[in-house]
Amino acid sequence: MCGIIGYTGTQYAKDIIIDGLSTLEYRGYDSAGIALGGDDIAITKQSGRVSELAKLIPTSFATIGIGHTRWATHGAPTSKNAHPHQSFDGNIAIVHNGIIENCEILKKEITSRGIVFKSDTDSEIIAHLLALEDQSDMVQAVENVANKIEGSSSFLAIRKNDDKIYCHKKNAALTIGIGFDGNYIASDMLALAKYTSKGIVLSDDETAILAKNSVKVYKNGVEIEKDLIDISCKPPKICPCYMQAEIDEIPTALLNTYESFYSTIKKECIDDIKKAERIAIVACGTAYHAGLYGKEVIEILANKPVEVYIGSEYDRARFISNKTFAIFISQSGETADTLAAVNRSKSLGAKTLSITNVANSSITFLSDYSLILEAGPEIAVAATKSYNSQLLMLYLLANELAGNKVKRETIEKLSQEAKTLSTHSIFTESMAKDNLFFIGKGIDELSAMEGALKFKEITYKMAEAYPSGELKHGTIALMDTNCTVIALATNEQDKQKLTVSVSEIKARHAKTIGISAVGEIGCDISLFLPKLEDKLLYPILSIIPMQLLSLSTSFHLGINPDKPRNLAKSVTVV
């Protein structure tokens, strides 16, 4: 979603802001902009790439600035809607991440004062509201504006002739970086990695004032003490295709996840899960598919019933109480729907555990317990290695609940097999034009769902996941020569049924490709998975050929898989 960066210090702000925006590009955006402060506020913004924006910015000696990458919600991705937005009097510039839910009411109030909006965005409201406040107390002014806004709204503001950045955090993450040559703030710690390793993570409803040499944080008008924490993270290495690199990193990610689980899991957490009457797992997208796997392994190994919820549907979840243990899965730790679900669970008395790839993300601060995947930064919008790591983390957790310690050798073998598998391709050119179906039974159906999601995300083509036995109840009507069906079979007990489904599909002239751990199931082409100690580990391997086939199809269609259209890496609005 939107990326935010700000700097005030002794260095030239332009270079720092542009560099930060380039780091934030991976989050997905359609326009970008920068405001440089000083005697005047110089704004440059446009739709398109940060590299193009950088060429348009005049030489500047400003040492304060804010920048933004926008993922359009209110208003098309045009220059006028790009951030920063300026107040009617030209004195204030703001960048914002979030959605202002009472936008129409506030706009009416502002326009009734004769102020004319220059953009179609909700965010411009913040600039005007701030300008209408008494500027002699900026903490009060920022808090007054924040209180008027309903919804999520993290924002930065700068003023003419002022070297301070005024910040407020509500939902979308903001982290302050404390540097030697000034202070930084960003929506994503990765953008600060080059400059500092010490910082402050803002919590909801906090206001911060960044000056060159000081940082102050306030809540309800009162200055508060915040812990200075280690925010160091490796800046992502530059690589031609992050998705490819991240698939290649799966073997290492699995070993890291294994180490992380056993060095972090707390006995109290396991006891709390065991004590709970119900387990709820909540997540979105790929992480939701990992949640479905979590249900399988926890129910099978630990014999505890589990409900899995899509984050955006959790507001309707019934029977959540202090007898529930809620597990949240989020690669980024910043997904707004998942964060809202954590808050709801806590307000209903549930204990919470988050499984995330980003230590110090919002979800880790909100939850009672956290497990960090340690899969390494994931830059490509389509999640790959984090998914494999999420599955492993849930497998380890389920085993721990069952009183089993998983041997390191088991995961070393898994990691080795993942490495071998990532050299096998099941891509055929017909996939780039066919309708694709991914089918499986039981645990393989959730892998099929993830395979289909990956394919849709980075090829823009229709793909559907289906329980294999359900096809004959309707969907088989779609089968013809223009279909390719990927059939998954990792469980011996389903082999016969899968073989029947494949033969029904072949009788309708669709092409069939098998990903099988149970030998031949009658597909035109088959990829056979290696023998694993525990069949519950197969989903960690079987997804790899599907990740790769999506990637190959994307390349074949001339699409950049790292930056698929319309998508953002972390969805920080509900």
- Considering the complex, state which of residue 445 and residue 450 has its C-beta at the smaller distance from ligand AGP: 450
E strand spans, 71-220 = 85-86, 92-100, 151-159, 165-169, 175-178, 182-186, 198-201, 206-210, 215-219
Q: Which of these ranges, 174-182, 188-196, 405-413, 565-573, lies near ligand AGP under the rule CB under 6 A? A: 565-573
Report the residue number whose CB is nearest to ligand AGP.
285
Which residues inside 302-331 make contact with ligand AGP, applying CB under 6 A? Answer: 330-331
The CB-of-109 to ligand AGP minimum distance in angstroms stands at 34
Q: What is the C-alpha separation between 304 and 540, in angstroms, rounded?
A: 22
What is the dihedral angle through the alpha carbons of 248, 254, 260, 263, rounded to the nearest 10 degrees?
-140
CA geometry: angle at 522 spanning 518 and 525, to 5°? 90
Decide if 333 contacts 361 (C-beta within 8 A).
yes
Sequence-ordered list of residues with C-beta below 8 angstroms from that of 28, at least 6 positions apart, any chain:
1, 71, 381, 563, 567, 568, 569
Q: Which one, of 495, 440, 430, 446, lies nearest residue 471 by Cα?
A: 440
- Considering the complex, state which of residue 526 and residue 547 has its C-beta at the smaller distance from ligand AGP: 547
The CB-of-29 to ligand AGP minimum distance in angstroms stands at 14
- Considering the complex, state which of residue 106 and residue 290 has its C-beta at the smaller distance from ligand AGP: 290
Kindly give the pairing relationship between strand 511-516 and strand 483-489.
parallel
- Considering the complex, state which of residue 6 and residue 28 has its C-beta at the smaller distance from ligand AGP: 28
Per the annotation, the verdict on 569 as an active-site residue is yes
Q: What is the C-alpha separation between 304 and 323, in angstroms, rounded?
A: 13
* Helix boundaries (H) for 265-335: 267-275, 285-297
Q: Is 196 in the site for ligand AGP (CB under 6 A)?
A: no
Q: Is 287 in the site for ligand AGP (CB under 6 A)?
A: yes
Which residues inside 448-487 make contact with ligand AGP, applying CB under 6 A? Answer: 457
> Measuring CA to CA, how many Å separate 115 from each of 35, 104, 134, 231?
21, 14, 17, 41
Q: Which of these ranges, 40-48, 73-81, 266-274, 564-572, lies near ligand AGP under the rule CB under 6 A? A: 564-572
Which amino acid does the sequence have at 261?
A: F
Q: Is 285 in the site for ligand AGP (CB under 6 A)?
A: yes
Q: Is 284 in the site for ligand AGP (CB under 6 A)?
A: yes
The CB-of-571 to ligand AGP minimum distance in angstroms stands at 5
Which amino acid does the sequence have at 283?
A: A
The CB-of-380 to ligand AGP minimum distance in angstroms stands at 8
Decide if 35 contacts 91 (C-beta within 8 A).
no
Q: Is 446 in the site for ligand AGP (CB under 6 A)?
A: no
Q: Is 352 in the site for ligand AGP (CB under 6 A)?
A: no
- Considering the complex, state which of residue 218 and residue 328 has its C-beta at the smaller distance from ligand AGP: 328
- Considering the complex, state which of residue 87 and residue 552 has its C-beta at the smaller distance from ligand AGP: 552
Give the active site residue among 169, 304, 441, 569.
569
Q: Is 362 in the site for ligand AGP (CB under 6 A)?
A: no
Tokens of 66: 């804010």
Q: Is 383 in the site for ligand AGP (CB under 6 A)?
A: yes
Q: What is the C-alpha separation between 80 and 25, in angstroms, rounded?
A: 20
> Measuring CA to CA, how many Å separate 209 from each of 91, 158, 163, 361, 472?
17, 10, 10, 21, 62
Q: Is 382 in the site for ligand AGP (CB under 6 A)?
A: yes
Per the annotation, the verdict on 2 as an active-site residue is yes
- Considering the complex, state which of residue 332 and residue 415 has its C-beta at the smaller distance from ligand AGP: 332
- Among 175, 512, 570, 572, interactor with ligand AGP by CB under 6 A: 570
- Among 335, 352, 542, 547, interactor with ligand AGP by CB under 6 A: 335
The CB-of-344 to ligand AGP minimum distance in angstroms stands at 16
Task: Indicate the SS3 state at residue 201.
Answer: strand
Which residues inside 112-141 make contact with ligand AGP, applying CB under 6 A? Answer: none
- Considering the complex, state which of residue 187 and residue 207 has its C-beta at the smaller distance from ligand AGP: 187
Tokens of 283: 């997540």
Q: Is 338 in the site for ligand AGP (CB under 6 A)?
A: yes
The CB-of-263 to ligand AGP minimum distance in angstroms stands at 22
Tokens of 92: 């204030």
What is the total residue count of the chain?
A: 574
- Among 286, 312, 362, 459, interactor with ligand AGP by CB under 6 A: 286
- Considering the complex, state which of residue 331 and residue 459 has its C-beta at the smaller distance from ligand AGP: 331
Decide if 199 contacts 174 (C-beta within 8 A).
no
Q: What is the C-alpha separation between 258 and 408, in angstroms, rounded?
A: 8
* Site residues for ligand AGP per CB under 6 A: 284-287, 330-332, 335, 338, 381-383, 457, 567, 570-571
Question: Among all residues, which ones are annotated catalytic?
Answer: 2, 569
